[in-house]
Amino acid sequence: MTPETSATETDSGQKSAPDVPVDAGVVASVGADIDAAARIGAPLPESAHGGVATGGVDSPVVVLDEDQRRVVAAPPRGHLAVLGAPGTGKTTVIVELVADRVLRSGYATDEILVLAADRRAATRLRDVLAVRVGIPTAGPLARALTSFAFGIVVSGNAADGLPAPRLLTGGEQDAIIADLLVGDDEDGRSGDWPAHLDADVRCLPGFRGELRELMARAVEAHVSSERLTGLGDLRMRPEWRAAGRFIGQYHDVVDAFRDQFYDSTELVHRATEIVDSAGPDGTGLGPFARLKTLVVDDAEELSVAGSELLAALARRGVGIVVAGDPDVAAGGFRGASPDVVTRLPNVLDEPAASVVLGTSYRGSRQLADVYERVVARVGTAGAGTQRRVRRPTRSVEDSVLVTTPSSVAEQVAIIARELRERHVFGRVPWHDMAVVVRSRSQIAALERGLAGLEVPTRVLAGGTALRDEPSVRAFVLAARIALGVCVLDDEAAGELLTSVLGGFDRVELRRLRAALRQREADAGGSRSAAELLVEAMQLPGSLAELDTRHGRKAQSVADNLRRAAGAAERGATAEELFWSLWEGTRLERSLVEQSRGTGLAADEANRTLDAIVALFAAARRAVERSPGESPAHFLDQITESDLPEDTLAPRAAGSAVVITTPVGTVDRDFDTVVVCGLQEHGWPNMRQRGTLLGSGDLADAAAGIEPTPSDARALVLHDELRLLARTVSRARERLVVSAVAGEDASPSPFLPLFPPPTDGLAERHPLSLRGLTGRLRRDLTVALERGEHAVAERAAVSLARLAENGVEGASPDDWSGLLDLSTDAPLVSRDETVRVSPSRVEAFRTCGLHWLIDELGGSNSTVASGLGTILHEVAETLESADADEIWAAMSTRWNELPFEAGWQARLEEVKGADLARRLGLYVASREARGAAVIGKEVAFELPIPLVAEGGSDGPLDGATRPGGEHPTLAVLRGTIDRVELLADGSIDIVDLKTGKSEAKTNAGVVDNPQLGAYQLAFSEGAVPGTEGREGAGAKLVVLAGTAKTKPFYEPRQAPFTAEQAAAFREEIARTALEMAGAEFPAHVSSHCLEPFSFGRCRIHVVKAVTS
């Protein structure tokens, strides 16, 4: 293995700068990611470390069957197609063919080369070949097609005196296309596009994806931009005509770049041109000038452009050997031609022999039966002989398991259990198991679900767009603020502090805000925490003055922003801005240390490092491509692009279950394969690809063929079946198929191809230490309740063993509910006064436990309660019927509300303006009826003795409380929103309400304790300014937006009689004694477990989760 192979083939499965010899002078084009990883401190991929190759002639020889020996013995200069079903040993025979040519036929290592389906497959095959051959090589013996083409173009350009090429990544190409489309709209040059492809459509990522696909198909079909325009006219396809003009403009822009840029299809096309034009001595082909044999593994994944490159090499006398199976092609949606193996003579335009490998060595008879049922429905693609294979006769019971859970959560739990069972009982390493989903969009949720159930995972396919990575969003936001293109407001400050750059969690951020608010209050100020946080982030040293850990952490973030802003002022590039931000943190030490561990934290650290390295590499490529480009422009491109970026960053260390799509299984097989989410409308996905711009029709149109819609649907169905066939063929020992069958999901029509579902899988406990602990705790509890002492003893002994080994939750010391009460003392002692709030009386009536939690600080403020508070305070200071004036006053306090997102703020603004309108209408209606406000936010205080009349030391008659001696005095203390003087001289007590669930009829407030408390205080003369006047009762003014026919409701409680006042006074006293006690009633059925009560007491009364 040679130095030039370092870090050029990784597990990412994505397109990036390919591997080329170091003496070709293009190290910079492949080294950006490695350099970034090295500077950040991330460990390099294992493939970058090199190694000592062993093997050679004396290596253990694989025993080949008769068909495989025919392949190895094929004439060196001839062409050969090797057709074989999965498990027939195609890759094995390729390795032996290379070894035979090098070790026995005298080939030099630069005279034979293997092409693999992608970079990951090439990495694996390259290492196997290096060990098998066991001699020094001039270069890697296996490459991906793009890597091979890149090497040819490098050599060809050098021979022609041209600069080295640069590979244009998908994200970079998408950014260029987006810029050109926007520029066309701004310049008024977008009139060529048909009406259904208007500006709103053209700005969508999906449109750009279809446009890139059309461009690739045009290159493969040798359709220039001018010819595409002509085909648009000929076939009445206005979208082709417009795309032809656009593609011409695109090439003009790319050709103007300093370097020669190619996308992957253009690169292979250019390599074909160089091969055809090279001299007899191979001038211009560099390290490939002496090539005699080219072997292609997984040839069913070869693109049209790749086939043309093979034909060009064949014309130079290079022997072409291809191996594959058209039944399992996974790249149909990317333009792969699954029939290249069966049509090799037509592809090369030269005779070619063929060998069918007739024996499968993988799996069991049951697995083979499933595979045969799937491929029987696949179009033959010109073949079919590979299906008549000798299958394994070994029978393994339960080697195929089908499950139809009722929910996605249940599906994840069953899959986790199956994987853990194979790992624990079957001794199968985690990395020898895979979960395959149809779409990349399913991976993230599945990864989180399995991680939560203690199954280590790693993603092998797809990837996430940079803009969707939390760490990337943090760097981009910080860079935007440093450049001055984004304002540092409260939302941005909170996002930065809670990101990877700040390290705060939500609790720490609340503490920081509280500390700033307290400092403001101590200074006599009244500004909100939001205003204070923004100011503190902008003023040097302001946060450090708090002299707390949170203050110092926040100060570090603020200082880092200022340094980056200074770099921006000095003209820093986007990459330099990112380095400035990175070097101002302690991320290098913390993330790298975490990434070298195991578990969820290590996986997350690896994902973060992966994303950061990819971001830095993308920034470097942008600078190299367009040195004068504004950093802000690059940040816009990252934010708008939804395409994953390639990266050579390290993956999580250790063994882990692979999560991938069918494409990610091209070069792999596994002991256990799980097909997850075999759902209707998902697999098969019958949406025809390329229908927006007709990319799938272009090749036929160029050849004068007109496809029919039925043909297109059949091709899609066959592609979907090939993906399923490939997936099930990857399993060596066990296949698990899962399809949710619930109210919102139905299994795929492919499900009948598998055995009937197995019932009862969801009832098994999770096969983990945590799950075992839960089951044993449940068994112990149930056994004790039933008096089954032997069962209880066995469970207790097992729990003791787990506890001795440090398993969390096994020791009774960790069990909730077993500790003694911390105290049985009453909440209020005899010598203290019981304070009773009118609004809390109703809460205590509803549920004493809920009241206690709030009383002890367990309550939390919400946007709704904050909105009500602002309205009350505005109503106190402003007496106006003008809704605009009321809303203007409320708006000045808007930043005090704890919004989680911008959309929530906008929604609440609508609600707030509506409340202002309703309050204005109420004020106007009272004025029209001659009522006057004589008090707002009127405070009162009413002492209530808690002893029986006559001075007895016993409690109030009929009012008892547990816990011994009782207090002797309560104080009813509250604030009345509005006290109004009616036209007849009576007093009306008003309580403003903004909640949707408030009572709206008189009957609903007859027993309202809050209004009752106000009336009691009035009847006792405790309300200032109302002495000597009659009472008109008390009422609610409900301003909530549920009032459709009227702007507000006024449910009224009739004036208290003397008897009613006395009875209510006694009730308050009785309630005060209960509030002061040591035990509090929980209304479990009517409140705690009532789903619409939203009680904080629920967690204290639900049963423990034991499994």
Q: State both tokens at 1006.
A: 């007859």
More confident residue, 326 or 1042: 326
Is residue 446 pLDDT above 60, yes or no?
A: yes
Q: Do residues 225 and 138 share a domain? A: no
Tell me, yes or no, whether 580 and 690 share the same domain. no
Who's near 487: CB < 8 A, 6+ residues apart?
481
On the question of pLDDT at 633 being above 50, the answer is: yes
Q: What is the CATH number of the domain that holds 550?
A: 1.10.486
Q: Are strands 969-981 and 834-836 parallel, antiparallel or unpaired?
A: parallel
Q: Which residue has the higher pLDDT, 1041 or 458?
A: 458
Instruction: Tell whether 41 and 52 lie within a shared domain.
Output: yes
**Are the C-beta atoms of residues 123 and 9 closer than 8 Å to each other?**
yes
Based on the fold, state whether residues 151 and 10 are members of the same structural domain.
yes
Query: Model confidence at 649, in pLDDT bands (50, 70, 90)?
Result: very low
Tokens 């007093």 sit at which residue? 987
Look at residue 41 in the predicted model and tell me its pLDDT. Answer: 42
Helices 470-483, 600-625: axis angle to 10 degrees equals 40
Instruction: Provide Rg for the chain, Cα atoms.
Output: 37
52 and 65 in a single domain? The answer is yes
CB 420 within 8 A of CB 391: no
- Model confidence over 867-906: pLDDT tens digits? 788 888 888 887 777 888 888 888 877 766 766 666 777 7
Distance CA 210, CA 198 (A): 15
Q: Is the predicted pLDDT of residue 461 greater than 60, yes or no?
A: no
**Mean pLDDT over each residue of the chain, to the nearest integer:** 78
- Higher pLDDT, residue 709 or 957: 709
Gap between the Cα atoms of 432 and 652, Å rounded: 15
The pLDDT confidence band at residue 258, using thresholds 50, 70 and 90, is: low
Between 458 and 1042, the higher pLDDT residue: 458
CA 679, distance to chain mean position in Å, is 21
| 990 domain-assigned | no
CATH of the domain at 145: 3.40.50.300
Does residue 583 lie within any of the structural domains?
yes
User: H or E segment at 410?
Assistant: helix 408-424
Contact 142, 171 (CB under 8 A): no
Give CA–CA dist 71/85, Å, rounded. Answer: 15
Rounded average pLDDT over 48-74: 61
Please check whether residue 1044 lies inside any domain of the structure.
no
Residue pair 875/920 in contact (Cβ under 8 Å)? The answer is no
- Do 252 and 214 share a structural domain? yes
DSSP track, 596-661: TS-SHHHHHHHHHHHHHHHHHHHHHHHHHH-TT--HHHHHHHHHH--SBPP--PPPPPS--EEEE-
| CA atoms of 338 and 83, how far apart (whole Å) | 12
Quote the pTM value.
0.66
426 in a structural domain: yes
Confidence check: pLDDT of 802 > 60: yes
1026 domain-assigned: no
pLDDT in tens, 103-145: 888 888 888 899 988 888 888 888 889 888 888 887 888 898 8
**What is the model's pLDDT at position 990?**
92
Q: Lowest-pLDDT range, 123-137, 164-178, 260-274, 632-646?
A: 632-646
581-595: burial string, b at 16+ Cβ within 10 Å, e else: bbebbebeeebbebb
Task: Provide the CB-side half-sphere exposure for 241 (13 A, CA).
Answer: 13
Cross-strand pairs, 910: none
* Least confident interval from 44-48, 595-599, 843-847: 44-48
Rounded CA separation 746/400 (Å)? 21
Q: Write the DSSP string, 275-329.
A: HHH--TT-TT-GGGTT--EEEESSGGG-BHHHHHHHHHHHHTT-EEEEEE-GGG-
The answer to whether the annotation marks 87 as part of a ligand binding site is yes
- The whole-number pLDDT of residue 17 equals 30
Is 86 annotated in a binding site? The answer is yes
88 known ligand binder: yes
Average of pLDDT values for 69-95?
A: 88
- Asked if the model's pLDDT at residue 278 lies above 90, the reply is no
Which has more confidence, 261 or 661? Answer: 661
248 known ligand binder: no
More confident residue, 1103 or 342: 342
Q: How far are the Cα atoms of 889, 923, 1029 from residue 917, in angstroms, in the given order?
A: 13, 10, 32
Model confidence band, residue 525 (pLDDT cutoffs 50, 70, 90): confident
> Whole-angstrom Cα distance, residue 147 to residue 33?
16
Tell me how far apart the alpha carbons of residues 816 and 639 are, in angstroms, rounded to a whole number: 46
pLDDT of residue 8: 31
The tens digit of pLDDT for each residue in 191-226 reads 678 878 877 777 877 788 888 888 888 887 788 878
Domain check: are 593 and 623 in the same one?
yes
* pLDDT band at 7; cut points 50, 70, 90: very low
Is 541 labelled a binding residue? no
Q: How far apart are CA 9 and CA 144, in angstroms?
A: 8
Mean pLDDT of 1014-1027: 90
Same domain, 601 and 502: yes
| Listed residues 241, 262, 283: the one ending a domain | 262
User: For 599-603, 631-635, 970-974, which range has the lowest pLDDT when averaged over its residues?
Assistant: 599-603
Q: How far, CA to CA in Å, does 80 sit from each of 83, 93, 220, 312, 361? A: 10, 13, 24, 16, 22
Give residue 1097's pLDDT.
67
- Where is the domain boundary, 211, 237, 262? 262
Q: Percentage of the chain surpassing pLDDT 70?
A: 82
Same domain for 308 and 277? yes
Confidence bin at 673 (pLDDT 50/70/90): very high
- The C-alpha angle 303, 305, 311, rounded to 5 degrees, equals 105
Does 89 appear as a known binding residue?
yes
Claim to verify: residue 181 and residue 251 sit in the same structural domain: yes
Question: Across residues 372-388, what is the average pLDDT?
Answer: 71
Over range 293-307, report the average pLDDT: 87
The last residue of a domain, from among 238, 262, 286: 262
Residue 386's pLDDT is: 64
In a domain, 804, yes or no: yes
Reading across the β-sheet that carries 80-84, which strands appear in turn?
142-144, 112-116, 293-296, 319-324, 80-84, 353-357
pLDDT at 522 over 90: no
Name the range with the highest mean pLDDT among 57-66, 261-270, 716-725, 791-800.
791-800
**Is residue 417 assigned to a domain?**
yes
DSSP state of 752: G
Say yes or no: 547 and 422 in one domain.
Answer: no
State yes or no: pLDDT of 735 exceeds 90. yes
Domain holding 518, by residue range, is 466-640
On the question of pLDDT at 29 being above 50, the answer is no
For residue 84, list its beta bridge partners.
357
Q: Which of 114-118, 547-551, 596-600, 1067-1071 has the lowest mean pLDDT?
A: 596-600
> Which range, of 483-487, 548-552, 685-689, averages the lowest pLDDT?
685-689
How far is the C-alpha of 673 from the C-alpha of 658, rounded, in Å? 9
Total of domains in the chain: 5
What is the predicted pLDDT for the residue at 958? Answer: 42
Asked whether residue 832 is assigned to any structural domain, the reply reads no
DSSP string, 500-552: TTT---HHHHHHHHHHHHHHHHHTT----HHHHHHHHHHSTTTTGGG-SHHHH
Cα 467 → chain centroid: 11
d(CA 127, CA 131): 6
Distance, CA of 848 to CA of 844 (rounded, Å): 5
Both 700 and 759 in a single domain? yes
